Amino acid sequence: MSSVLLAVNGTLMRGLELEKNLLDVGAVFRYEAKTRRCYRLWSIRDIHPAMIRVEPGAEGAAQVDVEVWEIPAEGLASVLQKEPEGLTIGKVTLEDGETVLGVVGEPALVRGMREITSYGGWRNYLKSLEK
């Protein structure tokens, strides 16, 4: 059985609402990581985030906290089908230069939404809402 590494940055993370979607297909958490400094992050109505790749060095480009999971290749479609509309699978570059598959947002999804890049990740943003 072949597997792939998948970087997740929101509700698929450990302990959050959609982690079950990963566990149901036999995915295994591998490690926490940061992306390369070429992403921005938005809150989609405080329900889930959307991470968009931008040019390295572009204004607002930052690192985003992610979790890397090993997922059976045949389970990837099932996980993607259960993601909110506007989220898809793309390539994500990690801080160490490794490129893995990852959950990314379509640019149209973030129009008019709150940018939360400065929080560094979805968990940090959620913590800020508790205050």
Residues 6 or more apart from 108 whose CB is under 8 A from it?
86
CATH number at residue 103: 3.10.490.10
| pLDDT of the residue at 63 | 97
| Residue 56 confidence class, pLDDT cut points 50, 70, 90 | confident
SS3 call for 114:
strand
Q: Say yes or no to pLDDT of 1 above 90.
A: no
| pLDDT of the residue at 48 | 98
Q: Say yes or no to pLDDT of 45 above 80.
A: yes
In percent, the amount of the chain with pLDDT more than 90 equals: 97
Q: Look at the chain and report how many structural domains it folds into.
A: 1
| pLDDT of the residue at 101 | 98
Its domain, for residue 93, covers 3-130
DSSP 45-92: TTTEEEEEE--TT-TT-B--EEEEEEEEGGGHHHHHHTSPTTEEEEEE
Q: What is the mean pLDDT of the chain?
A: 96
Average pLDDT value for residue range 105-126: 97
| pLDDT of the residue at 22 | 98
What are the tens digits of pLDDT across the range 5-41? Answer: 999 999 999 999 999 999 999 999 999 999 999 999 9
What are the tens digits of pLDDT across the range 79-98? Answer: 999 999 999 999 999 999 99
Model pTM score:
0.95
